[in-house]
């Protein structure tokens, strides 16, 4: 069965032509799925009965199941979603003043093996399909609809479990469905993909002609420290990563965000701030500082509020634009693979 939630418009048009239909069938289907929110083919009254039978036979509209739902006092919702094969991934709804953002997972587990991150503890089990990423967003949209306040998902960050550029094609299909005017119609500028620095991905992403955003998980201002925190740095060290980012900015005309975790006395020193300024100053990039979310799987600790603010001050005085990331759901396991890690641990 082909799950229509995973079909990007061009592919769906091709498929419809292969079915002996006109390409506009694809637009009709998108309208039924995303505008009229049809749950099954019987509702699609302007499609002939005969073709509806074909659709029912070969195609489906299937969402993942909600395995677990946690809601924080600040309204943040975290879902542990169960896929067709029983595997589970997390997604998070964050309510900003400017809209509703969903943090989407792109893989079951992750192979990048960053030493501070819980998502990679179990390795990568598989890539997510476009429909499984769409499923996360559509489930959150359903929850928002049930709240009855007329709200919907307005922003997407592909920053959940997984490395999006290790699942490049599926992530791009997902983005195209989100962004399509007859799809979820989420503006490109409201969509952000975050990578640990896979160069081939950055290279391709620059050439997609999309106005979406790119975030780079930097986390260290020199190779020695970055090698310790992120093993991807051994394959793509800073002298390769930074020129690739520069090229991305030139081609796409978009500024990147550098994400920089603050881990107590590991990467939050004055020396690190100075090195970071040297790296970033004069580029178009800006820095998003993320106070580390502690887990019991390692010995890293969150920098104190004072150290976080001191780091921000150094950067600002050094001429680098930086902000501290707003935190959500600190009373639930909202951070970075923690809920899944917990459930899978208990299941062992």
Q: What residues are annotated to the active site?
A: 90, 336
Q: How far is the CB of 163 from ligand SAH (least distance, A)?
A: 4
Q: How far is the CB of 295 from ligand SAH (least distance, A)?
A: 6
Q: How far is the CB of 210 from ligand SAH (least distance, A)?
A: 18
Binding-site member from 32, 34, 41, 116 for ligand SAH (CB under 6 A): 116
Cα 234 to chain center, whole Å? 24
Closer to ligand SAH at the Cβ: 141 or 303?
A: 303
DSSP 68: E
Q: How far is the CB of 98 from ligand SAH (least distance, A)?
A: 21
**Residue 173, token pair as written in the block:** 């299909």
Q: How far is the CB of 254 from ligand SAH (least distance, A)?
A: 16
Contacts of ligand SAH in 139-168 (CB under 6 A) = 159, 163
Closer to ligand SAH at the Cβ: 47 or 335?
A: 335
Q: Which stretch binds ligand SAH (CB under 6 A): 10-18, 142-150, 192-200, 277-285?
A: 192-200
Q: By CB under 6 A, tell whether 233 contacts ligand SAH.
A: no
Closer to ligand SAH at the Cβ: 65 or 204?
A: 204
Cα(14)–Cα(75) distance, rounded to whole angstroms?
41
Cα(35)–Cα(346) distance, rounded to whole angstroms?
40
Query: Measured at the alpha carbon of residue 323, what is the angle toward residues 237 and 194, in degrees to the nearest 5?
Result: 45
SS3 191: strand
Q: By CB under 6 A, tell whether 268 contacts ligand SAH.
A: no
Cα(278)–Cα(102) distance, rounded to whole angstroms?
33
Closer to ligand SAH at the Cβ: 7 or 159?
A: 159
Nearest C-alpha neighbor of 251 from the set 305, 308, 205, 285: 205
Q: By CB under 6 A, tell whether 44 contacts ligand SAH.
A: no
Cβ pair 126, 111 in contact under 8 A: no
Binding-site member from 141, 192, 194, 213 for ligand SAH (CB under 6 A): 194
Cβ pair 263, 294 in contact under 8 A: no
**Residue 285, token pair as written in the block:** 């990039």
Closer to ligand SAH at the Cβ: 180 or 190?
A: 190
Q: Which residues contact 284 (CB under 8 A, 6 or more apart)?
A: 249, 255, 256
Longest dimension (CA), the chain: 70
Cβ pair 67, 11 in contact under 8 A: no
Quick note: the x/- pattern for ligand SAH over 238-267, rule CB under 6 A, is ---------------------x-x------
Cα(95)–Cα(334) distance, rounded to whole angstroms?
13
DSSP 31: I
CA distances to 184, 191, 192 from 154, rounded to whole Å, are 9, 9, 12
Q: How far is the CB of 208 from ligand SAH (least distance, A)?
A: 18
Contacts of ligand SAH in 298-337 (CB under 6 A) = 335-336
Binding-site member from 290, 308, 312, 315 for ligand SAH (CB under 6 A): 290
Q: By CB under 6 A, tell whether 293 contacts ligand SAH.
A: yes
Q: By CB under 6 A, tell whether 117 contacts ligand SAH.
A: yes
**Residue 84, token pair as written in the block:** 């067709």
Cβ pair 198, 233 in contact under 8 A: no
User: What sign does the CA torsion over 266, 267, 268, 270 have?
Assistant: positive
Q: How far is the CB of 107 from ligand SAH (least distance, A)?
A: 9
Contacts of ligand SAH in 56-95 (CB under 6 A) = none
Cβ pair 182, 32 in contact under 8 A: no
Instruction: Return residues touching ligand SAH (CB under 6 A).
Output: 112, 114, 116-117, 159, 163, 194-196, 217, 259, 261, 290, 292-293, 295, 335-336
């Amino acid at each position: 069965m082909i799950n229509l939630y995973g079909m990007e418009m061009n592919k769906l048009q091709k498929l419809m032509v292969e079915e002996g239909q006109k390409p506009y069938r694809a637009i009709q289907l998108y309208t039924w799925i995303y505008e009229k929110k049809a749950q099954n083919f019987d509702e699609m009254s302007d499609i002939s009965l005969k073709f509806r039978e074909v659709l029912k036979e070969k195609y489906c509209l299937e969402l993942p199941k909600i395995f677990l739902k946690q809601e924080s006092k600040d309204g943040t919702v975290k879902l542990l979603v169960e896929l067709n094969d029983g595997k589970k991934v997390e997604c998070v709804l964050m309510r900003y003043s400017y809209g509703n953002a969903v943090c989407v997972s792109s893989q079951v587990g992750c192979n990048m093996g960053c030493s501070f991150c819980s998502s990679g503890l179990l390795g990568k089990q598989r890539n997510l399909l476009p429909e499984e990423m769409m499923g996360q967003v559509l489930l959150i949209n359903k929850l928002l609809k049930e709240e009855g306040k007329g709200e919907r998902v307005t922003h997407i960050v592909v920053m959940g479990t997984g490395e999006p550029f290790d699942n490049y094609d599926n992530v791009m299909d997902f983005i195209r469905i989100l962004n399509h005017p007859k799809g979820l119609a989420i503006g490109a500028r409201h969509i952000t993909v975050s990578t640990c620095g896979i160069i081939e991905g950055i290279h391709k992403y620059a050439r997609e002609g999309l106005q979406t955003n790119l975030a780079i998980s930097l986390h260290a201002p020199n190779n020695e420290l970055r090698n310790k925190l992120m093993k991807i740095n051994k394959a793509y060290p800073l002298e390769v990563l930074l020129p690739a980012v520069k090229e991305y900015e030139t081609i796409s005309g978009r500024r990147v965000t550098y994400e920089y975790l603050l881990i107590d006395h590991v990467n939050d020193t004055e020396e690190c701030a100075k090195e970071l300024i040297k790296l970033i100053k004069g580029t178009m990039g800006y820095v998003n500082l993320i106070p580390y979310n502690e887990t019991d799987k390692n010995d890293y600790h969150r920098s104190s509020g004072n150290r976080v603010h001191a780091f921000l001050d150094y950067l600002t005085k050094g001429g680098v634009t930086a902000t501290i990331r707003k935190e959500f759901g600190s009373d639930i396991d909202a951070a970075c693979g923690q809920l899944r890690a917990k459930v899978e641990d208990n299941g062992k």
